[in-house]
Structure 1
Amino acid sequence: MCLAVRRVTPEPVPSRAQQHMVRMRDGVRLATDVYGADQGAAPAPTILARLPYDKNSRYAFFDKIADRFTARGYVVVVQDVRGKFRSQGRTLGWTGEVDDGYDTLEWITHQPWSDGIVGMFGDSYYGFTQWSAVSSQHPALRAIVPRVTSTTNAPGIATYDSGSGRQPLWLEGTTYQAQVWTDNDIHEFDVDLTRRPIIAAYEEAFTAIGKRSAGFDLIVGGIPLDPYNGPHPYDARPIPVLHCVGWFDNLGIAHMRDYTELARRPGWAAVQYLIADTIDHENYFLEDAPATPETDHLAGDAALERMLDSYTGPAIEFFDVFLKGVAHPDSLPRVRWKLGHEGWRTAATWPLPEATATELYLADPVAATGTVPGGKLAPRPDDTSEAAEWRYDPDDLVPSAAADTFMQLRDHVDERRTLDRDDVLVFTGPASDGPLDLAGPVRAVLHVESTAPTFDVFVRLLDLAPDGTARLIVRGCVQADRPGEVDIALGHTGYRVRPGHRLALMIAGSDFPNHLPNSGSLESPWLTTAPKASLQKLRTGTAHPSRLCLTVLPESGE
């Protein structure tokens, strides 16, 4: 039976856009739409976006974005990157973006509608193209607004890099490579990830398409890709940056690493701004989760219009300051962040100076092998050393928090059944008398070992409600090949644990289908037909202080 593949081709260019085929230095021409370049109008600042998704599609909604920017006096330029949709060239993401970004900026500055000042805007990959343009150091680029993205999400670079070593392979990212980066179009297909070897499911798709994805082959081959042929953005000429971060974004760990690193660097620190919202990668909000037909912006036009106000508003305000100079930079708060279930707040720095580090120690690990409430999250470690074991079964994998973590909040899954599985460990804290406000980084420091030569550790911190429902706050993972301590970054968050709720920490050996299952041996997990089960052990107590590290605000008295 042949795999069904749906090919997504370019939508028509909107009537109010003018398409140009802009020549790059090697002769390749990139399809570029221009909005708001009315003849006879005075030259104006330009907002540039360069993306691999059809710039004319309902998914990218750039016609609606352009309306909001042009109404404020900006020209908007939207470009299909090399090898995608209407553009020419080889289809291989994360290559050529530095030079193509420079050449596009240069083309803009020579147009009669340009005043020579450019800002860049956009999500995900078109946040990465902004960092590539920063690397190019073109003098026309004066400010960027990267949203839910990072400088380091190229093939072979771990998106969930926690600074603690190798990461389990992000299978969603591999599927993205196979569907988006095969040729100019997008190829949508369902991958049967239960097949063994797993690579056979993708090979079936490439056979049906008639082409391969070069990016996919890089990932499977473990071949890293250096995306910058200029300086790394951290080492480039500083320009103002408005980081738009999602607390529930699947690139959130990497994005906050960019922000915190640049906030420490001379030159860059003075021009870093942060907006952190309770959104996932596709801009669903915690306050609307789970989404309804009235709040699902990918399905309804009214919901999209409402979402776009918060999506573009901060960027317009930022560009008005740094491209037009209509107000002093000090008029913008350095940090705007949303406390989940509570609302927006402002600050001068992040993490907040009033926030404190709090450690909760994993206690009573034997009870953690049972159902909720399981073991305890305690203010101090047990005096005696204890241990608990959990199994990794490649034939019965622990389900992911969401089938599609790009849209983590659209369904906002109740994970109580996962907490009660007999192959996970769960530790819970006491129900809170008042609100507990998490505001900053979260980590799990665990002392673990395995019967296998390589093993994965997945950690989720959840909000356990009085009615038993359990929903994700943050998550992280690491891959280990020896016994000992692992330090797992779970990301930053702004989240209120409401009175009567409690924290629940879950530890598991798999996270499927988001991550590639471990082979349980030294065999490639892509090629194995017989992955091996294993037994993991967590140690606790003063000699092995496994713990959850939180950043919390002082009690508000609410």
Structure 2
Amino acid sequence: MSLEFRCIEAEPVPPTAQQHMVRMRDGIRLATDVYAPAGGGPAPAVLVRLPYDKNSRYVFMDKVAERFTARGYVLIVQDVRGKFRSEGATTAWTGEVNDGYDSIEWIVNQEWSDGVVGMFGDSYYGFAQWSAVASQHPALRAIVPRVTSTGFAPSVMNPGDPSIRRVPWMEGAIYLATHWVDNHTYDYKPDYSVRPLRNAFEQAFEMVGSRSTAFDLTVPSPIALDAYNATHPYDARPVPVLHCVGWFDNIGSAHMYDYTQLAKRPGWAAVQYLWADSIDHENNFLHEAPLRDDDDHSANDEALERMLDSYTGPALDFYDIFLKGLKDPGSLPRVRWHLGHVGWQTSEVWPPTDAQTYSLFLADVEAATGTAPGGSLSEQAGTGRVDWRYDPDDLVPSAVPNTWEFLRRYPDESATADRGDVLLFSGAVLEEPLDLTGPVELRLEVESTAPTFDVLAKLVDVGPDGATHLIVRGNAQGTCRGELRLDLGHTGYRLRPGHRLALMIASSDFPLYVPNSGTDESPWLTVAPKPSTQTLHSGVLSLTVTR
């Protein structure tokens, strides 16, 4: 089968930027744009290091620069090594520590620099910030990592709590195979009917004429990378951090894992701040979901201007404190978070001090394979057991083709909830609001007829009309009978009167996740995956709530 693809090349440098080719310690030069404020004179600098073309409409850095320079900051935006205009090999997650250090060193030696540097940005350019933290350059005074993680190799590891064995993430593999081939980006859809599944990407690499080193290092099995040059950011010199988290971000669990781990470390705890919004990875808002054309900031310039207020505003206020010293750090709320369907809240800690753990048991389990409402979420433990099937020839379909921008579609998932291979447990219809304000965890006693099995869970909001919408999700892979723990992430979300809470459990979610082989064989390499039957013996859902 012949695949069609689109090659995305570098856009022109805007007239408001001056591009430099900045030399790294090994002689490789990185393309670096400087946006300077009017008036001249030394000023604090904010560095953004990204792999998505510094001049593309997708990253809108020229628009970001307008807001940064208006507040008196020099904005520096750089294509990372091996991407677009920058030289060097194209290999994700390696080399960023040294390149981050050398880029900061170049900045502080420019006449427009006052010697103080911050960093900013989403996703991979959040990882680049953590790499610079690991480099421990003394000029780095504050970072604002958005919708990101200190982890890496998402196609296999789904970074976050390392104690949970997770289901391989197909979407992460696509990311590596399209963004990390060479200097360009390639847009294509793999042929998922190919077996073994890894060969679907071999077709793509042959079509493009180049391979992804990052893909080869992580699929089907990851090679251990020393991404941080032996010093993990957790162990580096603490710098003030504004964690910008999305409640609907597909790597939000990983970001909150970083936040909660650093909160346990005395040096880091004192300089951590949290800003969490009801957004997805691409900065789409819950209150606008599903998106209309006039709210789509990826194509609509007016919508982009509106989005940039929340995108840059918290960061600039943070830099005014930690780069310019204009206010006392005590003036900034330690935690600012959005309660979905309500609005912005502040607290000194996360979860808020008035939040409590609320446990619901999975009960009436024999009814869970039927149509809504299925089994029940009860304050009392139930008895019994229920089987559900995994059929590699009839996989549970993914709700959206791209969870990076989940809120673009924000689909009704009631049809999936009614499938016979999906367990459904529903709570009572609420008479009063119920606010979810913290972590969500699911613990199951489960076994399978297969040596490995996948469990994918979604906590959903069911409206009075039956419309079913995602709140949080998580997954884990089991290998034997016993307790399986699923981290469903953190959220700030109000369930309104007339709505009910529900839990969906399945063993596939395709093509978002790689289907299980049903054997000991890698799911990437199997030619004939086998069906299996899973048995749920008991379960408890732990919520963090305020009433």
> TM-score normalised to the size of structure 2?
0.98
CA contact (8 A) 2:160 2:255 kept: no
Q: CA deviation at 1:352?
A: 1.2
Match of 2:237 in 1: 237
3-state SS of the aligned residue for 1:366? helix
- Rounded to whole Å, the distance in 2 between the matches of 1:400 and 1:194 is 16
Structure 1 gaps, min length 5 = 541-545
Partner of residue 395, structure 1: 393
Determine the C-alpha separation between the residues in 1 that align with 2:328 and 2:399.
Answer: 43
Contact 2:220 2:524 in 1 (8 A): no
Residue 425 of structure 2 contacts residue 504 of structure 2 at CA under 8 Å; is this kept in 1? Answer: yes
- Any residues of structure 2 matched to 1:428-467 within 5 Å, and which? 428-467=426-465
| Secondary structure, counterpart of 1:547 in structure 2 | strand
Aligned to 2:5: 5
Could you tell me which amino acid in structure 2 is paired with residue 485 of structure 1? E
Residue number in structure 2 paired with 1:189: 188
Measure how far apart 1:37 and its partner are: 6.0
Structure 1 residue 162 displacement after superposition: 4.1
Distance 1:407 1:278 in 2: 12
Q: What SS does structure 1 have at the residue aligned with 2:270?
A: helix
Q: Which aligned pairs between 1:69-108 and structure 2 lie closer than 5 A? A: 69-108=68-107
Change (3 A) 1:157 1:134: farther
Is the 2:449–2:533 contact (alpha carbons within 8 Å) kept by the matching residues of 1?
yes
Match of 1:29 in 2: 29
Partners of 2:154 and 2:169 within 8 A in 1: no
Deviation at 1:430, TM superposition (A): 0.3
* Identity of matched residues, %: 63
Q: Separation in 2 of the partners of 1:255 and 1:154? A: 15
Q: Please show how residues 246-265 of structure 1 align to structure 2 within 5 Å.
A: 246-265=246-265
Gaps in structure 2 of 5+ consecutive residues: none
Deviation sequence 1:102-128 (CA, Å, 0-9, x none): 000000000000000000000000000
Write the letter of the residue equivalent to 1:244.
C
In structure 1, what is the equivalent of residue 132 of structure 2? 133
Matches within 5 A, 1:127-526: 127-154=126-153, 158-159=157-158, 161-222=160-221, 223-382=223-382, 385-526=383-524
- Matched residue pairs, number? 546
Residue aligning to 2:527 = 529
SS of the equivalent of 1:69 reads helix
* One-letter code aligned to 2:294: E
Contact kept in structure 2, 1:161 and 1:167, CA below 8 Å: no
Partner of 1:543: none
SS at the partner of 2:311?
helix
The CA deviation at 1:163 is 4.7
Q: Retained in 1: the 8 A contact 2:6–2:187?
A: yes
Query: For the Cα contact (< 8 Å) 1:428–1:505, is it kept in 2?
Result: yes
2:463 & 2:393 partners in 1: Cα distance?
31
Change (3 A) 1:124 1:390: same
Deviation at 1:225, TM superposition (A): 2.3
- Classify the secondary structure of the residue corresponding to 1:267: helix
Counterparts of 2:88 and 2:480, CA distance in 1: 44
- Aligned with 2:344: secondary structure? strand
Q: Deviations over 1:143-162 (max 9, x none)?
A: 00000001013357622544
User: SS where residue 393 of structure 2 aligns?
Assistant: coil
RMSD of aligned residue pairs (Cα, Å):
1.1
Deviations along 1:370-403, one digit per CA (max 9) or x if unpaired, are: 0100000000102xx3100000000111122322
Does the aligned pair in 2 maintain the 1:154–1:227 contact within 8 Å?
no
Q: Tell me if the contact between 1:160 and 1:476 (Cα under 8 Å) persists in the aligned partners.
A: no
Separation in 1, partners of 2:522, 2:162: 23
Q: SS at the partner of 1:167? A: coil
1:226 Cα offset (Å): 2.6
Amino acid at match of 2:87: Q
- Structure 1 residue 477 displacement after superposition: 0.2
In the alignment, the residues of structure 2 paired with residue 312 and residue 3 of structure 1 have an alpha-carbon distance, to the nearest angstrom, of 39
Could you tell me which amino acid in structure 1 is paired with residue 508 of structure 2? Answer: S
CA distance in 1, matches of 2:161, 2:377: 22
Are the aligned partners of 2:161 and 2:257 in contact in 1 as well (CA < 8 Å)?
Answer: no
Q: Measure, in 1, the Cα distance between the counterparts of 2:381 and 2:455.
A: 21
- Distance in 1, Cα, partners of 2:159 & 2:370: 29
- TM-superposed deviation, 1:194: 2.5
Answer with 221-230 or 356-365: which moved more: 221-230
Q: Quick one: structure 1 residues 161 and 389, their matched pair in 2 at CA, closer, same or farther if it must change by over 3 Å?
A: farther
1:254-296 Cα distance to aligned partner (Å, 9 max, x none): 1001111111111111110000000000000100000001111
Q: Which moved more, 1:471-480 or 1:154-163?
A: 154-163
Letter in 1 for 2:302: A
Which amino acid letter does the alignment assign opposite residue 108 of structure 2?
Answer: T
Cα 1:126–1:23 change in 2 (3 A) is same
Distance 2:125 2:525 in 1: 33
**Residue type at the aligned position of 2:170:** L
Does the CA contact (< 8 Å) of 1:156 and 1:218 recur in 2? Answer: no
Partners of 1:301 and 1:163 lie apart in 2 by 40
Distance 1:439 1:155 in 2: 27
User: For the residues of structure 2 that align with 1:479 and 1:213, how far apart are their CA atoms?
Assistant: 27
Residues of 2 paired with 1:64 and 1:194: CA distance? 41
What amino acid is aligned across from residue 399 of structure 2 in structure 1?
A: A
What residue identity is the alignment partner of 1:439? Answer: T
1:550 maps to 543
Opposite residue 401 of structure 1, the aligned amino acid is A
Q: 1:156–1:225: 8 Å Cα contact kept in structure 2?
A: no
Q: Structure 2 vs 1, CA of residues 372 and 387 (structure 1 numbering), >3 Å: closer, same or farther?
A: same
| Counterpart residue identity of residue 551, structure 1 | T
Q: Tell me which stretches of 4 or more aligned residues in structure 1 moved more than 6 Å.
A: none
Partner secondary structure for residue 204 of structure 1: helix
Native 8 Å contact 1:136 1:230 kept in 2: no
Instruction: Please give the alpha-carbon distance, in whole angstroms, between the structure 1 residues aligned to 2:71 and 2:111.
Output: 19
Letter of the structure 2 residue corresponding to residue 245 of structure 1: V
How far apart are residue 192 of structure 1 and its match? 1.7
1:115 and 2:111 are equivalent in the alignment: no
For 1:188 and 1:230, the matched residues in 2 are separated by: 34
Q: For residues 337-396 of structure 1, what are the alpha-carbon distances to aligned partners after superposition, in whole Å with 9 as ceiling and x for unaligned?
A: 0100000000000011110001000001110010100000000102xx310000000011
CA deviation string 1:6-44 (max 9, x = no partner): 100000000110000000000000000000166x71100
Q: Which residue is equivalent to 2:48?
A: 49
Contact persistence 1:401–1:472 (CA under 8 A): no
Give the letter aligned to residue 272 of structure 2.
Answer: Q
Return the alpha-carbon distance in structure 1 between the equivalents of residues 232 and 136 of structure 2.
11
* TM-aligned CA deviation for residue 164 of structure 1: 4.1
The Cα of 1:193 is off from its aligned counterpart by 1.4
